[in-house]
Amino acid sequence: RITELAEQHFREGSRSETPLLAGKKVVVTAGPTRERIDPVRYLSNFSSGKMGYAMAEAASRLGAETVLVSGPVGLQVPKGIRTVQVESAAEMLDAVLAEYGTADVVIKAAAVADYRPKTVQSGKMKKQEGDSVLELERTADILKTLGEQKDGQCLIGFAAETDRVAEYARGKLERKNLDYIIANDVTAPTGVFGSDTNVVTLFGRDGTEVTFPATEKKALAMKLLRRIFGGEQDDR
């Protein structure tokens, strides 16, 4: 009910004033990546893609030309948003870089695999008795790459942490040359992965530090974007 009222407010808001992100191009990455082991097996993670999709929808509703680069998720592709479907971290990097030069804002909500199998088997592996070992190598660090190649874009990352949230989040903000980082405490009882609600703290290069109480992800996405781009001090 509150969510409906909030959404109505945002819709009306964006009708009666110049949309906050009008004329801006926003690129959002969402979902997990899958790293193939062989033609049938893969490594992945539990990211549902909901937060990224919510960020893309919010950006679009705020008037941005929005591009969603999405890993494999079970979500409906949002109407009116150009969506690029990718599978692996390498494909996601390529897709984001292809949009980066013309982007004003990049929001990296995807849970990109850190590691991938060192070699991909071309045929289905036959089972063997006993233990086995899967050799892994690091994938390209998409966010770091974007930070290094930054040319005026506003770069927004996410951090899922289990402890020392502020310290790790601020460290990542610096290390990857981000403008904002949105930190999830994944130990929070409200949960993160696959859930519709999320409790986060927004840290900014400019010193911003705002904690948003648990709320539905779509409403949270709108609050985050309005806080970042509207300069609103009211984070209720």
| Alpha carbons 47 and 160: distance in angstroms, whole number | 11
Q: Which of residues 12, 138, 213, 232 is near its own copies by CB under 8 A?
A: 138
| Alpha carbons 172 and 174: distance in angstroms, whole number | 5
Closest CA to 117 of 99, 138, 101: 138
Nearer to its own copies, 26 or 43 (CB): 43
| Alpha carbons 218 and 161: distance in angstroms, whole number | 21
Shortest Cβ 162–its own copies spacing (Å): 5
Near its own copies in 146-165, by CB under 8 A: 160, 162
Nearer to its own copies, 15 or 118 (CB): 118
Is 184 a residue of the active site? no
Residue 44 sits in the site that holds its own copies (CB under 8 A): yes
The one-letter code for the residue type at 171 is G
Near its own copies in 201-230, by CB under 8 A: none
Nearer to its own copies, 46 or 236 (CB): 46
Cα–Cα distance list, 66 to 28, 110, 136, 141 (Å): 8, 15, 34, 23
Query: Mind telling me the catalytic residues?
Result: 45
Which residues contribute to the site for its own copies (CB under 8 A)? 37, 39-47, 74, 111, 113-115, 118, 123-124, 127, 129-138, 160, 162, 186, 193
